[in-house]
Amino acid sequence: MNNSISFKEGLRQTWLPLIEAEIQDQHVFFIIDTGSTHCVMDEKMTDILKDSINYVGKTRLHGIEGNFVQTSEGLLNLNINGKQYQQKFSFMSLGDAFSSIKKESGIEIHGLLGNNFLVNNKWAIDYGKYVIVTESESSLNDIHKEEDNQSCYPQIQILNRMTGRELIQKEDSVIDFIEENGKYFFECGRVKGDVSHALQEVIETITLDDVQYVELSHNGNVAIPTLMLVKGNSLL
């Protein structure tokens, strides 16, 4: 059994660390979200997986729009890379935040695997090799020794992160969204840049507290000013 899981292909197609799992003969895709303390499954999957869910209670979480929502929790058995895992998931609507990803890549995202899953199962993320090591530290060392001739995968660096309010104060201006050919851009004082796919999907309903400003550098290139959607401690 392979002790590592590559997320290169998911990163290439969606710019997100995706892994595939199997639940009740259903193939599902999860984002590895180290900023989340919970594992989340889109609630629309509850009917499909109803025979596999062992409900254990309810909890309150930050919803995709930043508000608190009450969710059901249940245990699910997952097959990932040929190994069985049992994990508690919170079931909530993921809204339209990931619909643009499906539209552009054809990949439907069904949920998030949070940091609790990584810690409990002793998974380690090797961003240098774009793999998740699922067994031991020795496996991680072995991976670093392997030659990797593929250089087409993005190295992403986040610079100058600040809240939307801090950007407005810094520029002494307001944030204006501009739509061109179905894609949004933003202007705030002297700063102009991109709007993330997730933020574009909910742009009509967001508040200023849902927005953070970052400068994204891909493979060491010039950093691009970008507004992103805040979900808990994660940026989308």
pLDDT in tens, 102-134: 888 888 888 889 888 888 888 888 877 888 888
Cα distances (Å, whole numbers) of residue 2 to 52, 143, 149, 150, 169: 26, 11, 20, 20, 50
- Is pLDDT of 230 > 80? yes
Cα distances (Å, whole numbers) of residue 17 to 4, 34, 45, 126: 14, 10, 21, 11
The structural domains of the chain, with segments of one domain joined by +, span 4-145, 156-235
Alpha-carbon torsion 134, 137, 141, 144, what sign? Answer: positive
- Please indicate, yes or no, whether the overall pTM of this predicted structure exceeds 0.85: no
pLDDT of 207: 82
Q: Which CATH architecture has domain 4-145?
A: Beta Barrel (2.40)
Confidence class of residue 85 from pLDDT cuts 50, 70 and 90? very high
Which contacts (CB < 8 Å, 24+ apart) does range 117-121 have? 117/39, 117/85, 117/87, 118/32, 118/34, 121/85
Confidence class of residue 148 from pLDDT cuts 50, 70 and 90? very low
pLDDT of 221: 67
Nearest 5°: CA angle at 106, between 85 and 13?
80
Position 155, amino acid = Q
pLDDT of 137: 45
Closest CA to 206 of 226, 223, 170, 231: 231
